[in-house]
Amino acid sequence: MNLKNANWSFSGENAKKFDNHILKSVPLYKEGHDLICRLSDFFLSNQSICYEIGCSTGTLLESLAEHNKAKSIKIIGIEIEEDMVNCAKSKLSSYSNVDVLCDDILNLELEKSDLIISYYTIQFIKPRVRQLIFDKIYNSLNWGGAFLLFEKVRGADARFQDISTALYTDYKLEQGFSKEEILDKTRSLKGILEPFSTQGNLDLLERAGFTDITTIMKYVCFEGFLAIK
């Protein structure tokens, strides 16, 4: 991993190692994929369009395509890192109904869709443009469509944040990361990974227009939200 101070990148070697690294770094990462696939049953039907924002190497896109293979749906991944896009396109080359776009979500005109997914992506986007993205997502969904948002979240206050940080550090040590690797990763993510609290994410969703929102998964500082238009 390329771990320079405040200079984390998802390109180059990091893209090639991403899948193995993230499975060890994020609790319930695979289980979150499985949950999203099960939730897609409630929102995707024939002729539906589904987006994933920040699709990385396309692992979740592949799972969604397999899970919904009996339906005639269109699945579109959006990813800004070209190396990630190349990995995703290689992985998904046999799926004619899956496309991966190398672009910034803010530059794209989204088609009307029934499901939009952001799986630990918004936390890496500058806070100043997050509301614009949430607004775009809300406006792009059909009525009754869903936004699945998974994020690392900050504690509600300093005490909870300290407890959360300590528990997550223990988790990473148990996954085999060394103290040096954990510290280097933390330093490399300064100013790049900027999670909001649970309430901060709820505020973004509500300002965009969502009123039906629930938490569907929670593990210490990792949380999944379901918001229905």
Q: Is residue 4 part of a domain?
A: no
Q: How far is CA 102 from CA 15, 87, 116, in A?
A: 14, 12, 17
> Is residue 176 situated within a structural domain?
yes
What's the pLDDT score for residue 76?
Answer: 98
Q: Helix, strand, coil shares of the chain as percentages rounded to 5?
A: 45, 25, 35
Q: What is the spatial distance between Cα 12 and Cα 155, in angstroms, rounded to a whole number? A: 32
The CATH number given to whatever domain includes residue 19 is: 3.40.50.150
Binding site as annotated, residues: 29, 54-56, 104-105
- Would you give per-residue pLDDT tens digits along the chain (229 residues)? 444 554 555 555 666 678 888 899 999 999 999 999 999 999 999 999 999 999 999 999 999 999 999 999 999 999 999 999 999 999 999 999 999 999 999 999 999 999 999 999 999 999 999 999 999 999 999 999 999 999 999 999 999 999 999 999 999 999 998 998 888 888 887 778 899 999 999 999 999 999 999 999 999 999 999 999 9
Residue ranges at the known binding site for S-adenosyl-L-methionine: 29, 54-56, 104-105
Does 173 map to a domain? yes
- In a domain, residue 8? The reply is no
Q: How many domains does the chain have?
A: 1
Domain range for residue 189? 13-228
Structure tokens at 187: 């330093």
